[in-house]
A and B are shown apart, each in its own frame.
Chain A
Amino acid sequence: MAEHPQMKKWKEQAAKELKGKPVEALNWESPEGITVKPIYTAEDLEGLDFVNTLSGMAPYVRGPVGTMYTNHPWTIRQYAGFATATESNAFYRRSLAAGNQGLSVAFDLATHRGYDSDHPRVTGDVGKAGVAIDSVEDMKVLFDGIPLDRVTVSMTMNGAVLPILAGYIVAAEEQGVKQEQLAGTIQNDILKEFLTRNTYIYPPLPSMRIVSDIIAYCSKNMPRYNTISISGYHIMEAGANSVLQTAFTLADGKQYIRAAIDGGLSIDDFAPRLSFFFGIGMNFFMEIAMLRAARYLWNKTVSEFNPKNPRSTILRTHCQTSGWSLTEQDPYNNVIRTTLEALAAALGGTQSLHTNALDEATNLPTDFSARIARNTQIIIQEESQVCHVVDPLGGSYFIEALTGAIIREAGKIMDEIEALGGMAKAIETGMPKLRIEESAARRQARIDQGKDVIVGVNKYRVKDEAPGEVLEIPSTVRDEQIAKLKDIKSKRDSAAVKKSLENITKVAEKGGNLLEATVQAMRLRATVGEVSDAMEKVFGRYVATSRMISGVYSSEYGDSDVIKGLQKRTATFLKETGRRPRMLVTKMGQDGHDRGFKVVATAFADLGFDIDISPMFQTPDEAAKMALENDVHIVGASSLTAGHKTLVPELIKKLRASGAGEILVIAGGVIPPTDYDFLYKAGVVGIFGPGTSIPDSADKVLTLLEQKYLKK
């Protein structure tokens, strides 16, 4: 590559400013493995075939639409949902009145996993992390007074996608809105559920069939509807960097194209209705370049399938700022982080955006925090004047070069996945998940050492912070839902429902369109759980297999006295008591957040603990049996979706009832400080919230065990 004519001189000058340090010391190695130089010039653009192209034209690097925000700014679409349909509906109406432009429904985890609210496995989940929907009746209440022919609705649903999409169709129908009028998006991206989001129900093969059935049904009956939102957001939030996010997401997309084509569709039938969802973190320029690179790569990927319609090759995307980057500590800092991320999404050219609330690491948003989050976008759109120019950073030497670097690096990983036979096969090998988890463990080690700065957590920490206002969903929501279920079941035509459910089972087994069959059943007031069961009979329920990484945390941490000191203490414990400290790390309820769970497990093992891991989605009973059978010293429950007040005390009760009361119980995850006393009273001996460093928690756990088991 040529060099700028004055580059030599610049380097000499820089060397002087650096007082002898080499200029290369200014290079920054990004988590993606991209070397970022201190200065970029026109020479860095050599060979980049997308520079100085135009928006709305291939390869779409500068934007999927010609005029971009100069005509229409992005859609402000805030993701929300909690408790009952009634409460969520009221929230939606308030938020639409205050500047939100499109709805985005967050369902609770019982619904996600295809359980009705009265199912014994969801005692701690109903309405807690999203809105509880059991039937069309709930769906109708959810959209009451919201004209579905005008307001576009995005629904984050993947596992129980059939009954939910069908429920939405029927609710609209009963509002007087026809299917062909419906515009909006269903996430319906099952591949990334197996990878990171964990709200799958059935095994991969039948799950992919469901995706194809939905694409087929909608391309016939709902031409304005986005049948799938191929999501990188969850991949990033689980730990992936921008290159991994791009590669895995687009490779997922390619897999869906193949599935639809195998299902008999032609590329132009459905590709224009594929949409995307990216996550935008704190690495400002990288995020901007990522969106540009993704559009380039998608254009290239779809072109391989020879579309006639140019719209087929355009990547349109929703974005969300990173929740992971937000902290429990000093939470007003989160507004600043979210602002930067939102700006990056805008500069990258997103079509719609969700901005997170400042209390992200503590609870679902309150009315106050939701308002600030929404206003963050409104202020960028309406006060900052950034919307007047298309792709304002286009032509920046740095941004263009970085875009090129991401295209190159993500392209390599996509090739690697192709060589494995596509993303579905790659997921089977476990490769993508392990890469993400490794990236997450490294990140944790860098934060714990203060190498990656997080203000308020590992730098400038505020002492004795007072807890803020917390939104708590009462457990009575479950009782309300159960009452409604009883009511529906007493009023409907049971024989007809039964027949429609048998039909679903038959279609699952013998073929036919599952969405069509489900719409019929939902119309008759079948429940989400019943429909899911009807398919489970044929498909079975998927069980994830966890492969664990080891040694990554300690190797990223490097040679350190902190780590060695803790390793010495676990070794001493072994010497004195005859075995290593043994801890069961468990996930109870339908909470699928496994990033922290895995990071803690692998890091503690690196510190010399024997770590038992439970399967996901345990009941307290099951977790207690495992703790007892494996004879662990301590159980650590990782809880992020507000089930802690129900599930953790229940676990302690079960342990005590089975004679294993001496096993200590600690809890970690998203636990509002206002709940600490409640948990301590229930018998919990340690609580480790977001932002706890691993050495800190390990030190506390060891102290507990040393006090109990070592001779003074």
Chain B
Amino acid sequence: MTQKELDYYVQGVTSQNRLVMAKTITLIESTLPAHQETARAVMDALLPHTGKAVRLGITGVPGAGKSTFIESFGMMLTQKGLRVAVLAVDPSSPRTGGSILADKTRMEKLSVNEQAFIRPSPSSGTLGGVARKTRETMMICEAAGYDVIMVETVGVGQSEVAVASMVDFFLVLMIAGAGDELQGIKKGVLELADAITVNKADGDNIDRAKMARQQYSTAMHLLSPPSPDWSTPVMMCSSLTGTGLAEIWDMVLKHRKIMEEKGELERKRHEQSRLWMWALVKEGMEEWFYKNAQVVNLLPLIEKEVVGGRITATSGAARILSFLQNYSLTTT
């Protein structure tokens, strides 16, 4: 990579050039090793410019109203003069690899707002891959001076855990009327929540929303809070009419204030970086392992022996892992 190329990306992003931001995100999303190498250099250069934004993760089952929430919430923030970036990850089809990225159809106003930048991304590839791309895209938006970054993730798989581990504030959207079973949202997700909001509290749905809010409040008492200094509030809002959105923003700011005062925000981000490195190591290790020619040759043979009952699973695993010892670790 040339210096000129590096300058193109870094200067473009930091000077808030929409086109270059878009291209930089494409670069970090690329699966080509050459692009990835460039991307690493670009990200290293952008690092000093990152860290200032409010990072929000937003999850909920499909149809809970995440995109609609982001549309209204984002519009509210831009009206306060804030610049807002939105990252949405859409599932790629495991069979055909293609994807349909329709998020902007639900963010009609925000998507044409000059103070907003919205980038939908196909999830293609591994969960770790998604996490890396989303995290780095978030950093690109930060370097471009966006004040608030929202990451939308579907709360049914594992991606929300990954997202929760890269944001400052994790908001779970729920809807009323689906009974007290947790709507396919796993308990674990609620434990990650910094706030829960019952969405669609409007029209003839208000009473049901109130009831749901009550139920979730009770349920939340049984779960451990994400931080000793914070107990997860259960709120209510309508992304359609906008009621309750201002309160949610106030809550985000309150949370931030407390976390900053207690030094938790910094600690959280450091911890996130540390865990992130380990996640990368794990992923890199697996990738490297499965690509290794020896492993590729050896695996089926050893598998066969285990399946055939000639050796135990334990000694099969030991044999596979033993060859790792032939490699040595270097720093730098």
Q: Which A residues lie at the B interface, using CB under 8 A?
A: 205, 543-548, 550-551, 554, 567, 570-571, 574-575, 577-580, 601-602, 604-616, 621-622, 625-626, 628-631, 658-660
Residues B101 and A630 in contact, CB atoms below 8 Å apart: yes
A442 CA / B64 CA spacing, docked (Å): 29
Instruction: Compute how far the CA of A554 lies from the CA of B97 in the bound complex, rounded to whole angstroms.
Output: 13
Q: Which residue, of A604, A606, A615, has the highest number of chain B Cβ atoms within 10 A? A: A615
Residues of A close to B108: CB separation below 8 A: 543, 615
Complex Cα distance, B30 from A629, in Å, reads: 16
Q: Take A613-B102, A629-B22, A629-B119 as given contacts and tell me if A580 and B93 are in contact as well, using a CB distance cutoff of 8 Å.
A: no
**Cβ contact within 8 Å between A630 and B98:** no
Q: A612-B102, A629-B117 are in contact. List 6 more A-B contacts (CB 8 A).
A: A546-B106, A550-B100, A579-B29, A580-B98, A610-B122, A622-B111
Q: Which residue of B lies closest to A576 (CB)?
A: B32
Distance to closest chain B CB from A97 (angstroms): 46
Which of B35, B95, B118 touches A629 (beta carbons < 8 Å)? B118
A612 and B98 in contact, given A550-B93, A577-B32, A580-B124 (Cβ under 8 angstroms)? no
Known contacts A544-B105, A548-B102, A626-B111: A580-B120 contact under CB 8 Å: no
Find out whether the CB atom of A611 lies under 8 angstroms from the CB atom of B101.
Answer: yes
- Chain B neighbourhood of A611, CB < 8 A: 98-101
The residue among B18, B35, B104 with the most chain A CB atoms within 10 A of its own CB is B104
B26, B31, B97, B124: which has the most chain A beta carbons within 10 Å?
A: B97
* Residue contact A612 to B120, C-beta cutoff 8 Å: yes
Q: Given A550-B93, A577-B32, A578-B30, do A604 and B98 touch, yes or no (CB 8 Å)?
A: yes
Chain B window 19-39, contacts with chain A (Cβ cutoff 8 Å), 1 for yes, 0 for no = 101110110011110010000
B105 in complex: contacting residue of A577, A613, A628, A658, CB < 8 Å: A613
Partner of A571, one of B26, B93, B97: B97
Residue of A nearest to B19 (CB): A659
A647: shortest Cβ distance to chain B, in Å?
16
| A628 engages B19 (CB within 8 Å) | yes
Chain A residue nearest in CB terms to B91? A550
Q: Which residues of B contact A622 (CB under 8 A)?
A: 111-112
| Beta-carbon nearest neighbor of B21 in chain A | A629
Q: Which A residues are in CB contact (< 8 Å) with B97? A: 567, 570-571, 574, 580, 608
**A580–B100 alpha-carbon span in the complex (Å):** 12
List A contacts of B98 (CB < 8 A).
Answer: 570, 580, 604-611
Q: Please give, as numbers and ranges, the residues of chain B lying within 8 Å of A547 by CB-CB distance.
A: 102
Give every chain A residue within 8 A of B122 (Cβ-Cβ): 580, 610
Cβ contacts under 8 Å, B19 to chain A? 628, 658-660
> How far does the Cβ of A544 sit from chain B's closest Cβ, in whole Å?
7
B126 to chain A, nearest CB (A): 15
B228 proximal to A (CB < 8 A): no
The 9 closest A-B pairs by CB, nearest first: A578-B30, A578-B32, A605-B98, A631-B22, A546-B105, A615-B108, A608-B98, A613-B102, A612-B101
Nearest chain A CB to B236's CB is how many angstroms away? 20
Known: A578-B30, A578-B35, A622-B112. A551 touches B104 (CB 8 A): no
Partner of B119 from the list A551, A577, A616, A630 (CB cut-off 8 Å) is A630
Q: Closest chain A residue to B107 by CB distance?
A: A615
In the assembled complex, the CB of A445 is this many whole angstroms from the nearest CB of chain B, namely 14
Per-position binary interface string of chain B over residues 215-239, scored 1 when its CB falls under 8 Å from any chain A CB and 0 otherwise = 0000000000000000000000000
Q: Tell me the bound Cα distance from A554 to B96 in angstroms.
A: 9
The answer to whether A631 and B102 have CB atoms under 8 Å apart is no
Query: Does chain A have a CB within 8 A of B203?
Result: yes
Q: Which of A601, A613, A631 is close to B26, meaning CB atoms less than 8 Å apart?
A: A631
A613: B residues at CB distance < 8 A: 100-102, 104-105
27 A-B pairs with C-beta separation under 8 A: A205-B203, A545-B67, A545-B106, A546-B102, A546-B105, A550-B93, A554-B96, A570-B98, A578-B32, A578-B35, A580-B97, A580-B98, A602-B100, A604-B98, A608-B96, A608-B97, A610-B99, A611-B99, A611-B100, A614-B104, A614-B105, A622-B111, A622-B112, A628-B18, A628-B19, A630-B22, A658-B19
- Give Cα A547–Cα B25 distance, bound, in whole angstroms: 26
Contacts of A614 in B (CB 8 A): 104-105
Closest to A205 in B: B203
A543 to B109 CA separation, bound complex (whole angstroms) = 9
Interface bits B39-74 vs A (CB < 8 Å: 1, else 0): 000000000000000000000000000011000000
Point out the residues of chain A lying under 8 angstroms from B117, CB to CB.
629
Given A628-B22, A629-B117, A607 contacting B96 (CB threshold 8 A): yes
User: Which residues of chain B have C-beta atoms less than 8 A from A608's C-beta?
Assistant: 96-98
Q: What residue in chain B is nearest A551 (Cβ atoms)?
A: B93
Complex CA gap A602/B96 in Å reads 12
B34 and chain A: residue at smallest CB distance: A578
Q: What chain A residues lie within 8 Å of B109 (beta carbons)?
A: 543
Which residues of B75-121 have CB atoms within 8 Å of chain A's CB atoms? 92-93, 95-102, 104-106, 108-109, 111-112, 117-120
* A570 / chain B contacts, CB cutoff of 8 Å: 97-98
CB-CB < 8 A to A571: which residues of B? Answer: 97
Judging by beta carbons under 8 Å apart, are B25 and A626 in contact?
no
Q: CA–CA, A626 to B18, complex, Å?
A: 11
The answer to whether B119 touches A545, judged by C-beta atoms less than 8 angstroms apart, is no
A579 near B96: Cβ-Cβ < 8 Å: no
On whether A567 and B96 interact (CB within 8 A), knowing A578-B32, A579-B30, the answer reads yes
Q: How far is the CA of A371 from the CA of B275 in the complex (A)?
A: 74
Most buried by A among B95, B100, B111, B124: B100
Determine how close the nearest CB of chain B comes to the CB of A510; give it in whole angstroms. 18
Shortest B241–chain A CB gap in Å is: 9
Tell me the nearest residue of chain B to A613, going by C-beta. B102
Residues of A within 8 A of B102 (CB): 546-548, 612-613
Give Cα A602 to B98, complex, Å.
9
List residues of chain B with CB within 8 A of the CB of A628. 18-19, 22
Q: Measured between alpha carbons, how far is A658 from B22 in the docked complex, in Å? A: 13
B100 touches A605 (CB 8 A): yes
Name the residue of chain B whose CB is nearest to the CB of A614. Answer: B104
Q: Do residues B96 and A615 form an inter-chain contact, with CB atoms below 8 A?
A: no
A657 smallest CB distance to B (angstroms)? 11
CB distance from B319 to the nearest CB of A (A): 33
